[in-house]
Structure 1
Amino acid sequence: MTKTSKTTLKMNRKFKVPAEKVFAAWTNEEFQKKWMFTMEHTNKIAKSDPRVGGTWEIVDHRGGKDYRAIGEYKLVEPPTKLVFTFKMPQFSDLEDDITVEIHPLDSSCEMIFTQEINVPHEEGWTEEDIEKAHEEWKKETEEGWHYMFLGLKELVETGKITYPTL
Protein backbone atom coordinates (compact mmCIF):
# COMPACT_ATOMS: atom_id res chain seq x y z
CA MET A 1 0.00 0.00 0.00
CA THR A 2 1.35 3.40 -1.01
CA LYS A 3 1.85 5.93 1.76
CA THR A 4 0.03 9.21 1.10
CA SER A 5 -0.65 12.57 2.66
CA LYS A 6 -3.14 15.32 1.89
CA THR A 7 -2.79 18.91 0.81
CA THR A 8 -5.62 21.38 0.26
CA LEU A 9 -6.18 23.58 -2.78
CA LYS A 10 -8.64 26.44 -2.38
CA MET A 11 -9.72 28.75 -5.23
CA ASN A 12 -12.33 31.53 -5.39
CA ARG A 13 -14.11 32.82 -8.49
CA LYS A 14 -16.88 35.37 -9.06
CA PHE A 15 -19.52 35.03 -11.75
CA LYS A 16 -21.94 37.65 -13.07
CA VAL A 17 -24.85 35.19 -12.98
CA PRO A 18 -27.11 33.74 -10.27
CA ALA A 19 -25.83 30.83 -8.15
CA GLU A 20 -28.34 28.47 -9.81
CA LYS A 21 -26.58 28.82 -13.16
CA VAL A 22 -23.14 27.99 -11.76
CA PHE A 23 -24.56 25.05 -9.79
CA ALA A 24 -26.18 23.71 -12.97
CA ALA A 25 -22.84 23.92 -14.80
CA TRP A 26 -21.38 21.57 -12.18
CA THR A 27 -24.22 19.03 -12.28
CA ASN A 28 -25.86 19.12 -15.72
CA GLU A 29 -24.31 16.79 -18.32
CA GLU A 30 -24.84 19.25 -21.17
CA PHE A 31 -22.89 21.93 -19.32
CA GLN A 32 -20.24 19.54 -17.95
CA LYS A 33 -19.25 18.26 -21.37
CA LYS A 34 -18.38 21.78 -22.46
CA TRP A 35 -15.96 22.72 -19.68
CA MET A 36 -15.27 20.07 -17.03
CA PHE A 37 -11.99 18.19 -17.70
CA THR A 38 -12.75 18.43 -21.41
CA MET A 39 -13.67 20.50 -24.40
CA GLU A 40 -16.94 19.82 -26.15
CA HIS A 41 -15.30 18.65 -29.37
CA THR A 42 -13.03 16.14 -27.55
CA ASN A 43 -15.70 14.87 -25.17
CA LYS A 44 -16.81 11.26 -25.59
CA ILE A 45 -18.89 10.83 -22.43
CA ALA A 46 -20.51 13.16 -19.91
CA LYS A 47 -22.76 11.51 -17.32
CA SER A 48 -24.14 12.99 -14.14
CA ASP A 49 -26.62 11.76 -11.53
CA PRO A 50 -26.46 14.64 -9.03
CA ARG A 51 -27.92 13.08 -5.90
CA VAL A 52 -26.23 11.70 -2.80
CA GLY A 53 -24.75 8.36 -3.89
CA GLY A 54 -25.15 9.22 -7.57
CA THR A 55 -22.12 9.18 -9.84
CA TRP A 56 -20.56 11.35 -12.52
CA GLU A 57 -18.16 10.51 -15.35
CA ILE A 58 -16.30 12.46 -18.02
CA VAL A 59 -14.28 10.82 -20.82
CA ASP A 60 -12.14 13.11 -22.94
CA HIS A 61 -10.35 11.82 -26.06
CA ARG A 62 -7.10 13.59 -26.98
CA GLY A 63 -4.00 12.51 -28.80
CA GLY A 64 -5.42 9.06 -29.42
CA LYS A 65 -6.04 8.43 -25.71
CA ASP A 66 -9.07 8.45 -23.46
CA TYR A 67 -8.83 10.35 -20.19
CA ARG A 68 -11.51 9.27 -17.72
CA ALA A 69 -12.55 11.19 -14.61
CA ILE A 70 -15.14 9.68 -12.26
CA GLY A 71 -16.66 10.29 -8.88
CA GLU A 72 -19.58 10.02 -6.51
CA TYR A 73 -21.76 12.79 -5.13
CA LYS A 74 -21.56 12.98 -1.32
CA LEU A 75 -23.65 16.12 -0.76
CA VAL A 76 -25.99 17.95 -3.13
CA GLU A 77 -27.62 21.16 -1.86
CA PRO A 78 -28.82 23.22 -4.84
CA PRO A 79 -27.79 25.91 -5.56
CA THR A 80 -25.20 26.50 -2.84
CA LYS A 81 -23.13 23.38 -2.10
CA LEU A 82 -21.81 20.30 -3.82
CA VAL A 83 -19.38 17.71 -2.45
CA PHE A 84 -18.09 14.88 -4.61
CA THR A 85 -15.17 12.54 -5.09
CA PHE A 86 -12.72 12.78 -7.96
CA LYS A 87 -10.56 10.01 -9.41
CA MET A 88 -8.76 9.31 -12.68
CA PRO A 89 -8.44 5.50 -12.52
CA GLN A 90 -5.99 5.24 -15.44
CA PHE A 91 -3.44 7.13 -13.33
CA SER A 92 -4.17 6.16 -9.72
CA ASP A 93 -6.56 4.50 -7.29
CA LEU A 94 -6.37 7.59 -5.10
CA GLU A 95 -9.57 9.58 -4.73
CA ASP A 96 -9.78 13.28 -3.86
CA ASP A 97 -12.69 15.11 -2.25
CA ILE A 98 -13.96 18.29 -3.89
CA THR A 99 -16.27 20.84 -2.29
CA VAL A 100 -17.94 23.58 -4.32
CA GLU A 101 -19.67 26.31 -2.32
CA ILE A 102 -21.63 28.95 -4.23
CA HIS A 103 -22.59 32.10 -2.36
CA PRO A 104 -25.36 34.20 -3.96
CA LEU A 105 -24.61 37.92 -4.15
CA ASP A 106 -26.89 40.71 -5.45
CA SER A 107 -26.91 39.86 -9.16
CA SER A 108 -23.96 37.50 -9.16
CA CYS A 109 -22.30 34.80 -7.06
CA GLU A 110 -18.99 33.71 -5.63
CA MET A 111 -17.72 30.15 -5.91
CA ILE A 112 -15.32 28.72 -3.36
CA PHE A 113 -13.66 25.57 -4.67
CA THR A 114 -11.74 23.25 -2.33
CA GLN A 115 -9.93 20.06 -3.33
CA GLU A 116 -8.39 17.72 -0.77
CA ILE A 117 -5.55 16.25 -2.85
CA ASN A 118 -4.09 12.85 -1.98
CA VAL A 119 -0.35 12.93 -2.66
CA PRO A 120 1.46 9.58 -2.98
CA HIS A 121 4.88 9.30 -1.33
CA GLU A 122 7.98 7.62 -2.64
CA GLU A 123 10.06 5.32 -0.43
CA GLY A 124 12.34 7.21 1.95
CA TRP A 125 10.83 10.67 1.53
CA THR A 126 11.72 13.27 4.15
CA GLU A 127 9.34 15.94 5.48
CA GLU A 128 10.99 18.34 3.03
CA ASP A 129 10.26 15.95 0.12
CA ILE A 130 6.62 15.71 1.20
CA GLU A 131 6.29 19.48 1.50
CA LYS A 132 7.81 19.94 -1.97
CA ALA A 133 5.44 17.31 -3.43
CA HIS A 134 2.46 19.06 -1.83
CA GLU A 135 3.43 22.36 -3.47
CA GLU A 136 3.98 20.70 -6.88
CA TRP A 137 0.66 18.82 -6.78
CA LYS A 138 -1.21 21.96 -5.69
CA LYS A 139 0.43 24.04 -8.42
CA GLU A 140 -0.37 21.52 -11.20
CA THR A 141 -3.92 20.97 -9.95
CA GLU A 142 -4.55 24.71 -9.63
CA GLU A 143 -3.29 25.31 -13.17
CA GLY A 144 -5.71 22.73 -14.59
CA TRP A 145 -8.68 24.14 -12.68
CA HIS A 146 -7.69 27.70 -13.59
CA TYR A 147 -8.14 26.95 -17.30
CA MET A 148 -11.35 25.01 -16.68
CA PHE A 149 -12.74 27.89 -14.61
CA LEU A 150 -12.02 30.32 -17.45
CA GLY A 151 -14.25 28.13 -19.64
CA LEU A 152 -16.85 27.81 -16.89
CA LYS A 153 -17.04 31.59 -16.50
CA GLU A 154 -17.41 32.14 -20.24
CA LEU A 155 -20.01 29.37 -20.50
CA VAL A 156 -22.28 30.59 -17.68
CA GLU A 157 -21.93 34.28 -18.56
CA THR A 158 -22.20 34.09 -22.37
CA GLY A 159 -23.67 30.64 -23.11
CA LYS A 160 -20.64 29.37 -25.04
CA ILE A 161 -16.90 28.85 -24.80
CA THR A 162 -14.51 30.20 -27.42
CA TYR A 163 -11.66 27.73 -27.28
CA PRO A 164 -8.20 29.07 -28.09
CA THR A 165 -6.56 27.69 -31.21
CA LEU A 166 -4.04 25.07 -30.13
Structure 2
Amino acid sequence: MKDYSITTLTMVRTFEVAPERVFDAWLNPEVMRKWLFTLEATNKVAVSNPQVGGTWEIVDHRDGKDYRAIGEYIEIDPPKKLVFTFKMPQFSETEDTITVEMKEMEQGCEMTFTQNIIVPHEENWTESDIERVLGEYHEGSEHGWNLMFMGLKEFLETGKISYQG
Protein backbone atom coordinates (compact mmCIF):
# COMPACT_ATOMS: atom_id res chain seq x y z
CA MET A 1 0.00 0.00 0.00
CA LYS A 2 1.21 3.52 -0.79
CA ASP A 3 2.05 5.81 2.09
CA TYR A 4 -0.04 8.63 0.62
CA SER A 5 -3.17 9.32 -1.42
CA ILE A 6 -4.07 12.18 -3.74
CA THR A 7 -7.34 14.07 -3.83
CA THR A 8 -8.01 16.54 -6.63
CA LEU A 9 -9.71 19.85 -5.97
CA THR A 10 -11.12 21.67 -9.01
CA MET A 11 -12.73 25.10 -8.75
CA VAL A 12 -14.01 27.38 -11.52
CA ARG A 13 -14.35 31.15 -11.05
CA THR A 14 -15.28 33.99 -13.38
CA PHE A 15 -13.78 37.46 -13.35
CA GLU A 16 -14.99 40.58 -15.10
CA VAL A 17 -11.45 41.47 -16.19
CA ALA A 18 -9.14 40.32 -18.98
CA PRO A 19 -7.42 36.95 -18.47
CA GLU A 20 -4.04 38.75 -18.48
CA ARG A 21 -5.00 40.54 -15.25
CA VAL A 22 -5.91 37.32 -13.45
CA PHE A 23 -2.82 35.55 -14.79
CA ASP A 24 -0.62 38.42 -13.59
CA ALA A 25 -2.18 38.21 -10.10
CA TRP A 26 -0.61 34.76 -9.70
CA LEU A 27 2.89 35.99 -10.64
CA ASN A 28 3.25 39.64 -9.58
CA PRO A 29 4.48 39.86 -5.95
CA GLU A 30 2.79 43.24 -5.43
CA VAL A 31 -0.57 41.64 -6.25
CA MET A 32 0.22 38.25 -4.63
CA ARG A 33 0.76 39.96 -1.24
CA LYS A 34 -2.87 41.13 -1.31
CA TRP A 35 -4.54 37.73 -1.65
CA LEU A 36 -2.37 34.61 -2.12
CA PHE A 37 -2.10 32.85 1.29
CA THR A 38 -1.81 36.28 2.89
CA LEU A 39 -3.33 39.73 3.22
CA GLU A 40 -1.49 42.97 2.70
CA ALA A 41 -1.71 43.84 6.41
CA THR A 42 -0.15 40.54 7.54
CA ASN A 43 2.25 39.86 4.66
CA LYS A 44 5.98 39.76 5.48
CA VAL A 45 7.37 38.32 2.23
CA ALA A 46 6.05 38.12 -1.33
CA VAL A 47 8.65 36.99 -3.87
CA SER A 48 8.20 35.62 -7.36
CA ASN A 49 10.65 34.68 -10.10
CA PRO A 50 8.09 33.90 -12.83
CA GLN A 51 10.02 31.66 -15.20
CA VAL A 52 10.06 27.90 -15.60
CA GLY A 53 12.25 26.62 -12.77
CA GLY A 54 11.85 29.92 -10.90
CA THR A 55 10.44 29.97 -7.38
CA TRP A 56 7.83 31.87 -5.42
CA GLU A 57 7.40 32.47 -1.69
CA ILE A 58 4.79 34.02 0.57
CA VAL A 59 5.21 34.56 4.32
CA ASP A 60 2.14 35.60 6.28
CA HIS A 61 2.36 36.65 9.95
CA ARG A 62 -0.74 35.88 12.02
CA ASP A 63 -1.32 35.27 15.71
CA GLY A 64 2.39 35.68 16.43
CA LYS A 65 3.44 33.03 13.91
CA ASP A 66 4.92 33.05 10.41
CA TYR A 67 3.22 30.85 7.82
CA ARG A 68 5.36 30.14 4.77
CA ALA A 69 4.16 28.91 1.37
CA ILE A 70 6.70 28.12 -1.34
CA GLY A 71 6.86 26.54 -4.75
CA GLU A 72 8.43 26.31 -8.17
CA TYR A 73 7.02 27.26 -11.55
CA ILE A 74 6.69 24.25 -13.88
CA GLU A 75 4.85 25.78 -16.85
CA ILE A 76 4.05 29.40 -17.72
CA ASP A 77 1.98 30.07 -20.84
CA PRO A 78 0.53 33.59 -20.49
CA PRO A 79 -2.35 34.21 -20.23
CA LYS A 80 -3.64 30.67 -20.71
CA LYS A 81 -1.95 28.28 -18.31
CA LEU A 82 0.19 28.27 -15.18
CA VAL A 83 1.47 25.16 -13.39
CA PHE A 84 3.43 25.33 -10.14
CA THR A 85 4.23 23.40 -7.00
CA PHE A 86 2.93 24.35 -3.57
CA LYS A 87 4.35 23.42 -0.17
CA MET A 88 4.06 24.70 3.40
CA PRO A 89 7.26 23.26 4.98
CA GLN A 90 6.27 23.94 8.59
CA PHE A 91 3.32 21.54 8.21
CA SER A 92 4.51 18.91 5.75
CA GLU A 93 7.19 17.99 3.25
CA THR A 94 4.52 17.03 0.72
CA GLU A 95 4.41 19.11 -2.42
CA ASP A 96 1.11 19.63 -4.25
CA THR A 97 0.79 20.59 -7.90
CA ILE A 98 -1.51 23.44 -8.90
CA THR A 99 -2.72 24.19 -12.42
CA VAL A 100 -4.47 27.45 -13.29
CA GLU A 101 -6.10 27.70 -16.71
CA MET A 102 -7.66 30.84 -18.15
CA LYS A 103 -10.33 31.08 -20.81
CA GLU A 104 -11.37 34.39 -22.34
CA MET A 105 -15.12 35.02 -22.27
CA GLU A 106 -17.36 37.68 -23.73
CA GLN A 107 -17.17 39.65 -20.50
CA GLY A 108 -13.93 38.87 -18.74
CA CYS A 109 -12.60 35.36 -18.24
CA GLU A 110 -13.05 32.02 -16.58
CA MET A 111 -10.35 30.54 -14.37
CA THR A 112 -10.17 26.81 -13.74
CA PHE A 113 -8.05 25.97 -10.70
CA THR A 114 -6.92 22.40 -10.06
CA GLN A 115 -4.89 21.27 -7.05
CA ASN A 116 -3.59 17.72 -6.66
CA ILE A 117 -3.46 17.46 -2.87
CA ILE A 118 -1.09 14.86 -1.45
CA VAL A 119 -2.37 13.35 1.80
CA PRO A 120 0.25 11.37 3.76
CA HIS A 121 -1.04 8.23 5.47
CA GLU A 122 -0.37 7.41 9.08
CA GLU A 123 0.49 3.93 10.28
CA ASN A 124 -2.46 1.61 10.89
CA TRP A 125 -4.94 3.72 8.92
CA THR A 126 -7.88 1.81 7.52
CA GLU A 127 -9.49 2.57 4.15
CA SER A 128 -12.22 4.50 5.98
CA ASP A 129 -9.59 6.60 7.82
CA ILE A 130 -8.00 7.44 4.47
CA GLU A 131 -11.35 8.39 2.90
CA ARG A 132 -12.25 10.57 5.90
CA VAL A 133 -8.91 12.42 5.87
CA LEU A 134 -9.02 12.89 2.08
CA GLY A 135 -12.41 14.54 2.53
CA GLU A 136 -11.07 16.79 5.30
CA TYR A 137 -8.07 17.91 3.22
CA HIS A 138 -10.32 18.53 0.20
CA GLU A 139 -12.90 20.50 2.20
CA GLY A 140 -10.29 22.53 4.10
CA SER A 141 -8.41 23.41 0.92
CA GLU A 142 -11.60 24.35 -0.90
CA HIS A 143 -12.63 26.64 1.98
CA GLY A 144 -9.25 28.40 2.02
CA TRP A 145 -9.07 28.86 -1.76
CA ASN A 146 -12.67 30.09 -1.84
CA LEU A 147 -11.78 32.90 0.59
CA MET A 148 -8.66 33.76 -1.43
CA PHE A 149 -10.57 33.77 -4.73
CA MET A 150 -13.26 36.06 -3.25
CA GLY A 151 -10.50 38.52 -2.29
CA LEU A 152 -8.81 38.19 -5.68
CA LYS A 153 -12.08 38.83 -7.53
CA GLU A 154 -12.87 41.88 -5.39
CA PHE A 155 -9.36 43.28 -5.82
CA LEU A 156 -9.26 42.79 -9.60
CA GLU A 157 -12.76 44.15 -10.16
CA THR A 158 -12.78 47.04 -7.63
CA GLY A 159 -9.13 47.73 -6.78
CA LYS A 160 -9.46 46.87 -3.08
CA ILE A 161 -10.21 43.99 -0.72
CA SER A 162 -12.67 44.66 2.10
CA TYR A 163 -12.23 41.27 3.84
CA GLN A 164 -9.22 41.41 6.13
CA GLY A 165 -9.37 38.11 8.01
What is the TM-score normalised by the length of structure 2? 0.97
Instruction: Indicate the larger mover: 68-77 or 103-112.
Output: 103-112
In the other structure, the counterpart of 2:148 is 148
Structural RMSD (CA): 1.1
Describe the SS at the equivalent of 1:37.
Answer: coil
Find the aligned partners of 2:92 and 2:126 in 1 and give their Cα distance: 22
In the other structure, the counterpart of 1:110 is 110
In the other structure, the counterpart of 1:57 is 57
Percent of residue pairs bearing the same amino acid type: 62
1:60-75 equivalences in 2 (<5 Å): 60-75=60-75
Describe the SS at the equivalent of 2:38.
Answer: coil
1:126-145 equivalences in 2 (<5 Å): 126-145=126-145
The amino acid that maps onto 2:55 is T
The offset of 1:163, in angstroms, is: 2.1
In structure 2, stretches of 5+ residues that fail to align are none
Find the aligned partners of 1:139 and 1:38 in 2 and give their Cα distance: 19
The amino acid that maps onto 1:131 is E
The amino acid that maps onto 1:125 is W
1:35-114 equivalences in 2 (<5 Å): 35-114=35-114
Find the aligned partners of 1:52 and 1:117 in 2 and give their Cα distance: 21
In structure 1, stretches of 5+ residues that fail to align are none
In the other structure, the counterpart of 2:157 is 157
Find the aligned partners of 1:159 and 1:80 in 2 and give their Cα distance: 23
Describe the SS at the equivalent of 1:154.
Answer: helix
Matched, 1:16 2:19: no
The offset of 1:159, in angstroms, is: 1.2
Deviations 1:6-55 (A, max 9, x none): 11000000001110000011110010000000010100000011110000
The amino acid that maps onto 1:33 is R
Find the aligned partners of 1:124 and 1:117 in 2 and give their Cα distance: 21
Describe the SS at the equivalent of 1:85.
Answer: strand
